[in-house]
Homo-oligomer: A and B are copies of this chain.
Amino acid sequence: MDPATPFTLSCPIPISDYPTVLLAHGGGGKLSHMLIEKIMLGAFGNPALDARHDGAVFTLNGSPARVAFTTDSYVIHPLFFPGGDIGSLAVHGTVNDLSMCGARPLYLSAGFIIEEGLPMDTLWRVVQSMQQAAQHAGVQIVTGDTKVVDRGKADGLFINTAGVGVIEHDLRIAPQSVRPGDVLLVNGDLGRHGMAIMAVREGLEFESAIESDSAPLNGLVQALIDAGIEIHCLRDLTRGGLASALNEIAGVAQVSISIEEALIPVRDDVRAACEILGFDPLYVANEGRLVAFVGAQDAGRALEILQAHPLGRGAAQIGSVNAAGRPGLVTLRSRIGASRIVDMMSGEQLPRIC
């Protein structure tokens, strides 16, 4: 790059609106969406990114076989939590992003940013946990990088993982493939990851500890693919939860989505924790939960396959894509039969949840 090249384009987010980056710009809701749309797509826009999927899909070497590629950084606080730690999360998260592209995850990279002073044994526990999680998910960590920054310039440990996988079927699993009539399935109860983290942070004690749902979803997705289910779209329900994921997909696919409150599985203790802390489970992050959009004719069979898998025992059909309705809109029918709009999350609910 010619270092003398001037930066001629003015910032696409008006400085008068947002002079600085806020925590909410990373929260998975409206401001995150704006930052990605305006700044990231504004600079990097290309067909792979414009697809707004969990990863990029391309071919290599002129081979028709498709390859998926994705990345996530993990800044979760605290590093260890009920049901996992930053290491297992960094493996599950990227395995899941590849799975949501319909890919079989194969290889991960691991980039560590360590704050000077991190106990050596903490690092060792985290990398062992990553290795266990990778083995369990059937992937290999094949390349990495380690940086150390001075005390006070990071918070213990941040990890980035990127992943490469292969797509071994002809489905086009992407938001653009969603169509009216599709049925929405989730693979289990929502909100556990976010509430597990919040309970630790807030020092809350419940009768039984809420454990994160953090898990690798590649086996579950593979089971659907192997059974020939007509999967149109998959999305893991991380930052911003089910509500934000559905809003993003409805926006890209330009469809209207309806969900039924009574059908959405939420554990009683999670619901209670949400009430105490003022959260809506629809917006709480999960790390082992997905929504699948499948053709209506396959809905029953897909649900059976999910429920037969250890990570899908609590699977449920929660809604559908409407034949009519305003494109981009997500609506919820409540337990008492009232209908309300489910918007994308605004503001920042749960900073550093992943």
CB contacts under 8 Å to B, within A42-65, are 42-44, 46, 48-49, 55-56, 58, 60-61, 63, 65
Verify A65–B61 contact, CB threshold 8 A.
yes
CB-nearest residue of chain B to A124: B11
If A22-B148, A84-B1, A150-B352 touch, whether A72 touches B111 (CB-CB below 8 Å) is: yes
A120 → chain B, closest Cβ, in Å? 5
Residues of B within 8 A of A19 (CB): 119-120
A157 → chain B, closest Cβ, in Å? 9
If A125-B7, A142-B46, A146-B40 touch, whether A21 touches B114 (CB-CB below 8 Å) is: yes
CB contacts under 8 Å to B, within A23-47, are 23-27, 32, 35-36, 39-40, 42-44, 46
Residues of B within 8 A of A125 (CB): 7
Q: Which size class do A's interface residues fall under?
A: 35 or more
Verify A25–B60 contact, CB threshold 8 A.
no
Verify B58–A61 contact, CB threshold 8 A.
no
- A107 CA to B66 CA in the complex, in Å? 14
CB-nearest residue of chain B to A133: B1
Interface SS majority for chain A:
mixed
Q: Which of B3, B5, B21, B145 contacts A71 (CB 8 A)?
A: B145
Asked whether A334 is an interface residue with its Cβ less than 8 Å from the other chain, the reply is no
Q: Which of B43, B143, B154 contacts A127 (CB 8 A)?
A: B43
Verify B88–A1 contact, CB threshold 8 A.
yes
Verify A116–B23 contact, CB threshold 8 A.
yes
Residues of B within 8 A of A311 (CB): none
Residues of B within 8 A of A162 (CB): 69, 71, 109, 111, 160, 162
Asked whether A301 is an interface residue with its Cβ less than 8 Å from the other chain, the reply is no
If A60-B166, A65-B61 touch, whether A23 touches B148 (CB-CB below 8 Å) is: yes
CB contacts under 8 Å to B, within A86-144, are 88, 106-107, 109-121, 123-125, 127-134, 136, 140-144
- A88 CA to B1 CA in the complex, in Å? 7
CB-nearest residue of chain B to A114: B21
Q: Which of B25, B112, B144, B354 contacts A49 (CB 8 A)?
A: B144
- The 3 A-B pairs with the shortest beta carbon distances in the complex, nearest first, are A26-B148, A162-B162, A56-B142
A-side residues, CB < 8 A to B, are 1-3, 5, 7, 9, 11-13, 15, 18-27, 32, 35-36, 39-40, 42-44, 46, 48-49, 55-56, 58, 60-61, 63, 65, 67, 69-75, 82-84, 88, 106-107, 109-121, 123-125, 127-134, 136, 140-150, 152-155, 158, 160, 162, 164, 166, 168, 211, 351-352, 354
Pick 24 A–B contacts, CB within 8 A, sort by A. A3-B82, A3-B84, A3-B211, A7-B128, A15-B120, A20-B120, A21-B114, A21-B117, A21-B119, A26-B148, A26-B149, A43-B124, A49-B143, A49-B144, A56-B142, A60-B106, A61-B166, A69-B109, A70-B143, A71-B111, A73-B147, A111-B160, A147-B352, A154-B158
